[in-house]
């Protein structure tokens, strides 16, 4: 049995914890519009069978992050916005994964170490300079590294990991 002081201390400590049970109990909502991204594999949170499917609104609901950077594929600096890749993996319960396989609309595949997402603010870019990314502009989804903030990322390996026209992410 806890003493009055110990009980008050326990209540104070418990009240400072995030509502973990509520977060785990709430399912990932199902997409209501055209699906832009599907995650599958070793994920804990799904919404359509054993996959997590996201429409534009669902991706926009994840906290957006902005990168202002030059890229190897554009002449000028752009302002890109989209969810952090680490936040996306966290949303589907795959934030402790070691790597992901990213697949584009044209079936290009890249295996990316998830440590990239923990070490750098890599985003799943959805807009450039406030406009949605079109297919012609590497969209609708583009894995983008903060090249200007970290010039050491301008390597061939990272360029191959910067997948555009992203359609699917598989967590092995």
Asked whether residue 127 carries a pLDDT value surpassing 90, the answer given is yes
**Tens of pLDDT, residues 75-107:** 999 999 999 999 999 999 998 999 999 999 999
User: How far apart, in whole angstroms, are the C-alpha atoms of residue 134 and residue 154?
Assistant: 24
Asked whether residue 71 carries a pLDDT value surpassing 80, the answer given is yes
| Res 52: pLDDT | 98
What are the angstrom distances between the C-alpha of 131 and each of 50, 72, 79, 146, 167?
Answer: 32, 20, 10, 19, 19
Confidence band, pLDDT 50/70/90 cuts, at residue 18: very low
User: How far apart, in whole angstroms, are the C-alpha atoms of residue 14 and residue 159?
Assistant: 45
User: How far apart, in whole angstroms, are the C-alpha atoms of residue 70 and residue 130?
Assistant: 16
> What's the mean pLDDT when you consider all of the chain?
89
| Res 22: pLDDT | 31
Cβ 69 vs Cβ 92: under 8 Å: no
Residue 164 vs residue 63, higher pLDDT: 164
| Res 122: pLDDT | 98
CATH number of 28-171: 3.90.420.10
What ranges do the domains of the chain cover?
A: 28-171
Confidence band, pLDDT 50/70/90 cuts, at residue 34: very high
| Res 1: pLDDT | 52
| Res 63: pLDDT | 86
Region 2-8: mean pLDDT is 49
| Res 27: pLDDT | 76
Whether the pTM exceeds 0.75: the reply is yes
Asked whether residue 11 carries a pLDDT value surpassing 90, the answer given is no
């Amino acid at each position: 049995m806890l003493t009055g002081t110990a009980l008050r201390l326990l209540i104070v400590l418990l009240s400072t914890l995030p509502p973990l049970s509520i977060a785990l109990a709430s399912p990932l909502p199902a997409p209501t519009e055209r699906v832009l991204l599907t995650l599958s594999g070793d994920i804990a949170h799904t919404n359509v069978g054993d996959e997590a499917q996201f429409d534009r609104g669902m991706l926009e609901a994840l906290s957006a992050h902005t990168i202002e950077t030059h890229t190897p594929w554009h002449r000028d600096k752009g302002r890109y916005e989209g969810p952090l890749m680490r936040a996306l993996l966290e949303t589907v319960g795959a934030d402790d994964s070691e790597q992901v396989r990213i697949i584009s609309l044209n079936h290009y595949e890249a295996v990316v170490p998830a440590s990239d997402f923990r070490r750098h603010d890599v985003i799943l870019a959805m807009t450039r300079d406030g406009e949605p990314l079109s297919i012609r502009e590497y969209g609708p989804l583009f894995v983008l590294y903060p090249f200007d903030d970290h010039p050491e990322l301008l390597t061939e390996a990272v360029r191959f990991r910067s997948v555009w026209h992203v359609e699917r992410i598989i967590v092995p």
